[in-house]
Structure 1
Amino acid sequence: MTIRAVVFDFGGVLFDWNPQHLYRKLIADEQERQWFLDNICTQAWNTEQDAGRTLAEATRHLIEQHPEYQSLIQAYYERWHEMLRGELPEGVEILTALHQAKMPLFGLTNWSAETFPYAREHYPFLQFFRDIVVSGQLKLIKPDPAIYHASLAQVRAHLPDVQPGEVVFIDDVAGNVEAAVALGWQGIHHVSAERTSAHLRRLGVGF
């Protein structure tokens, strides 16, 4: 089956986002820093914002639970842009090559609706996407099947007769890829740009 559209995850594929980039500046001791990120400002807590909770509510709620860490908690979103070190060049190179080859491109990202505008403003390669599903805007999050249905509907707004098997989804989280494959999509677990490029070519994508 011919691939007619490619859907990209963003973090870990196109963007180098990591709370460590900020908290190395705030907590010098590595073990203390890791403990804070594992137990206070956790990935699970951040994911709730990706699913639609406001940054203000999330910050207030966490400070109520851990008032002794107020300044470190507040820094998470006040200085959020310092966690976004920049683009991942090899992933963006694949994206650019596909764009130049006229492949229809779409985004499907777990990202807060409040922080995503910063990425749009600062990273011109996002203009390559015909459309982007942002989890925080829909209040849905991968790997919920509903967000993949929303993404496919977005693709079909441009390619009305496209079938799930004609869409390939690239994500660095294996469980998110498995969820797409369970719905009939093609899936690529992004481990390296080299392997992703090779997998795309095995699927018949020329770029």
Structure 2
Amino acid sequence: MAAKIDHIVFDIGKVLIHYDPHIPFSRIIPDEEERNWFFHNVCTHDWNLEQDRGREWPEAEALLIAQYPEREEQIRAFRKHWHEMVPHAYEESVAIMEGLIAQGRDVTMLTNFAADTFVDARKLFPFLDKPRGVTVSGEIRLIKPDVAIYEKHARDFGLEPSATIFIDDNADNVKGAQAAGWHSVQFIDPATLRKDLDGFGIEV
């Protein structure tokens, strides 16, 4: 028998909205080999993750510019052109979320996101205001898959972990939710998500 689910929690990046830093940087650094080197050595995933954890952009930029002064313009371009990295929403995923809200389901969001870029994202994608609320990692200085961020989200929004399902594209974040006592599924595509939710007795 499927667990009774009272709360549905969505990740945002790569679940509801597309994210790809290569979009602006294919123009800023046209050479693919050089661009890949830049993302592996300068504006790395781990460097960007610290902004999701709450580090301010001026500090983040200064850190890299001290190491790579010749790359200053490219380093500053990461935040300057961030809006180009989120070019569109995943309409089918958004439709699933909005459908659940329309059914009267309790829907919230839990995201690794820098605080200031999330302000921008809300302007670009008004549907982000439709769920009951959101936990933004950069605002609380906790980050997935740390169990503490799931526990804080559950406390803040009054969620019963065993009656909660979390949807995230990242396998480690899915495991983090499970470690916090939540049900969780990895987002592959909207069709798979519909099947996964149906398995928990949630029709969309």
How far 1:155 sits from its partner (Å)? 2.4
- Quote the Cα distance in structure 2 between the aligned partners of 1:146 and 1:76: 29
1:188: which partner in 2? 185
How far 1:206 sits from its partner (Å)? 2.1
Contact preservation (8 Å) 2:147, 2:179:
no
Q: CA RMSD in A?
A: 1.0
- Quote the Cα distance in structure 2 between the aligned partners of 1:170 and 1:19: 22
TM-score, structure 1 normalization: 0.94
Q: C-alpha offsets along residues 100-158 of structure 1, whole Å, 9 cap, x if unaligned? A: 111111010000011110111221111221010000000000011110011111220xx
1:45: which partner in 2? 47
Residues 102-113 of structure 1 correspond to what in structure 2 (within 5 A)?
102-113=104-115
Which letter does structure 1 place at the counterpart of 2:83? Answer: H
How far 1:197 sits from its partner (Å)? 0.9
Contact preservation (8 Å) 1:131, 1:154:
no
More displaced, 28-37 or 133-142?
Answer: 28-37
1:87: which partner in 2? 89
2:131: which partner in 1? 129
- Quote the Cα distance in structure 2 between the aligned partners of 1:163 and 1:117: 28
- Quote the Cα distance in structure 2 between the aligned partners of 1:127 and 1:113: 15
How far 1:163 sits from its partner (Å)? 2.2
Residues 31-180 of structure 1 correspond to what in structure 2 (within 5 A)?
31-156=33-158, 162-180=159-177
Identity %: 39
Q: Runs of 4+ in structure 1 displaced over 2 angstroms?
A: none
Q: How many residues align structurally?
A: 202
Matched residue SS, 2:109: strand
- Quote the Cα distance in structure 2 between the aligned partners of 1:35 and 1:53: 23
- Quote the Cα distance in structure 2 between the aligned partners of 1:36 and 1:138: 29
Contact preservation (8 Å) 1:101, 1:206:
no
Matched residue SS, 1:52: coil
How far 1:77 sits from its partner (Å)? 0.6
